[in-house]
Amino acid sequence: MTFEDAPPSKTQRKKEMHELQALGERIIALDEATRARLPLSDDMLAAVEETGRIRSHEGRRRHMQYVGKLMRREDREAIRTAFEAIDHEQVQRNAAFHRLEQWRDRLIDDDDALEPFIEAHPQVDRQALRQLIRNARNERQREKPPTSARKLFQLLRDTANL
């Protein structure tokens, strides 16, 4: 019997079980729409829904062990691939929000930024855009809360369909 043929040690089995439980916890933490994108069995979906009804700490701990046990039967590679796609979308969404924040700051700070933004987004409500920029500049000069800057960001977000 070689080292490769030996069954996994108890430590290895426990480590794998903890990893499966952690994956199960991550699935449980997802919202319903995102969870629907994962390739999960009916048993696993039922266990995930049951988790929300468990209030006892010890009951939840035992239930998470059960979720880990169910995870052994799931297609873990497909679930990890789906999580990678979800994480990638989140990274892209965050980058898009950062770009919009940069646009907002440029529009407030620089008069020359308005025309490039309008060219990039011809569907924008120009009058509302100019009014919000003007109000945001006044708020900044008077050291007021950035209410118009927030509204400007919302307008930019709606214009970019994010």
Domain 10-74: CATH architecture, name and number where available: Orthogonal Bundle (1.10)
- Written as tens digits, the pLDDT of the chain (162 aa) is 566 677 888 898 889 888 888 888 999 999 989 888 999 999 999 999 998 899 999 999 999 889 888 988 989 899 989 999 999 999 999 999 999 999 999 999 988 888 998 898 889 888 999 999 999 999 999 999 989 999 999 999 998 886
Same fold? 10-74, 89-159: yes
Q: Could you read off the pLDDT of 38-53 as tens digits, one per residue?
A: 999 999 999 999 988 9
For the chain, the domains span 10-74, 89-159
pTM score, whole prediction: 0.67
Q: Which of 98, 104, 3, 82 is CA-nearest to residue 36?
A: 82
pLDDT of residue 46: 92
DSSP 7: P
Domain 89-159: CATH architecture, name and number where available: Orthogonal Bundle (1.10)
DSSP 112: G
Residues 6+ apart with CB under 8 A from 150: none
Residue where the block lists tokens 């369909």: 161
Q: How far apart are CA 20 and CA 29, in angstroms?
A: 14
143 Rama sector, left if φ>0, alpha if ψ -120 to 50, beta otherwise: left
Q: How far apart are CA 42 and CA 88, in angstroms?
A: 26
Q: What is the largest CA-CA distance in the chain?
A: 79
Q: Do residues 123 and 159 touch, judged by C-beta distance below 8 A?
A: yes
Residue where the block lists tokens 């008077």: 142
